[in-house]
Amino acid sequence: MKLLVLGTSNSILLGGWVSGLLAALPGAQIDNLSVGASPGTQFGCHMRGTFSYYDAVIFDSVVNDENLTDYLGTPEFTSRVLYEILSTIAAQTRLVVLGFSNERYLHAPSALYETRRALTAACGGQFIGLQELLRDFGAQLRGPDQPLFLGGGVHPALAVQRVLGEAIGHALAAQLGDLGPAATPSFATAFITEDPPATALPAQIITRSSHFASGRFLAVPPGGEVAFSAAAGLCLGFYISVNDTRTAVCLHGETGQRWKELWYEPEKSSFLRKFVPVTNGFALNRLTALAPDETPAGDMERSPYSQYAGTLAGETRLALGRVLFWTGDPTAPVPAAGDPAPALALHEHVRAALAAR
């Protein structure tokens, strides 16, 4: 079995649910392209890939999307983008969406969680409602006097995740053959990416890596400018190397300018990549990094998990990675979900396995 995981931090925790998945499917090939502290829209960067190589793609981003709602844009905008991402995957292979959720929504799912379940059903995928399973079986899974979530309330306890991952693996082994790609449209051509310019001098390219991932980033000096050829679409966001980024930028576009801060303190990790969303997208032509003595000409947009204190004093730096554009129609409606039962086949298998423990 060949599986691709497109997830966030829950999908890369050592000893988490992916470890349980591997234990249940010891012969499986599991490719993991997860990126923590980033929204599900980041995976628009992979829409030109060939998902049909995999028996299933497992998509996990509800927790981060709950936390980043204010940065992503209106619910209608975000739902349309995510529908096109999920539909593109489902048109080529089996789509499995995991419904992890923040601890604060343990007893009542968020509106975003409910929307994600409906989006999954609308494009013929499978939704595994982990929020509901943790609510119903968490007490028996966590053990006596053990917390259900790690500190911060975004990561279920690792032992609990491992049990869930094993149950998901057994469900895939038992039922994946009965599922197939859905009759849903592909929007692959609506997603366009631009990498750091190939014409940049070697000294301007930063390569960062860890035991889990690697990336190439363009070092943009204060006052430096990067032009883009994909201006016909809306920029949904871009990757940065967190430890190499501490600045603000001006986004220049057809409708004017927007100012965005990217002020990050170095992390302990040797390499940490984040996808910074651009709220509701922006028809971006070029990006300019601010010099320390510059004052933004407009309102400054915050970025997720940044440490901006209202000043650009001190050294500024920007390490810019892949930039994502989208040429879709943000006003297009999302198709109705229809009967939700077919989308819950794997969920019910996992539920039965947990009930039998």
- Taking all residues of the chain, what is their mean pLDDT, rounded to a whole number? 94
For the chain, give every domain's residue range: 2-187+339-355, 188-326
Look at the block and give the residue holding tokens 């390499």: 271
CATH of domain 2-187+339-355: 3.40.50.1110
Which of 2.60.120, 3.30.1360, 3.40.50, 2.40.10 would CATH assign to domain 188-326? Answer: 2.60.120
**What local confidence, expressed as pLDDT, does residue 230 receive?**
64
pLDDT, tens only, 325-341 = 999 999 999 999 888 89
**Does the pLDDT value for residue 181 go beyond 90?**
no
**Does the pLDDT value for residue 192 go beyond 70?**
yes
pLDDT, tens only, 58-99 = 999 999 999 999 999 999 999 999 999 999 999 999 999 999
Rounded average pLDDT over 144-163: 95
Rounded average pLDDT over 22-40: 97
**Does the pLDDT value for residue 154 go beyond 80?**
yes
Token digits for 188?
């692959």
Burial class, 207, CB count within 10 angstroms (exposed 0-12 / middle 13-18 / buried 19+): exposed
**What local confidence, expressed as pLDDT, does residue 269 receive?**
80
Give this prediction's pTM: 0.97
pLDDT, tens only, 207-232 = 998 888 899 999 999 999 999 986 67
Q: Tell me how far CA of residue 29 lies from CA of 2, 51, 210, 334, 346, in angstroms.
A: 5, 14, 21, 33, 20
Chain-centroid distance of CA 209 in Å reads 19
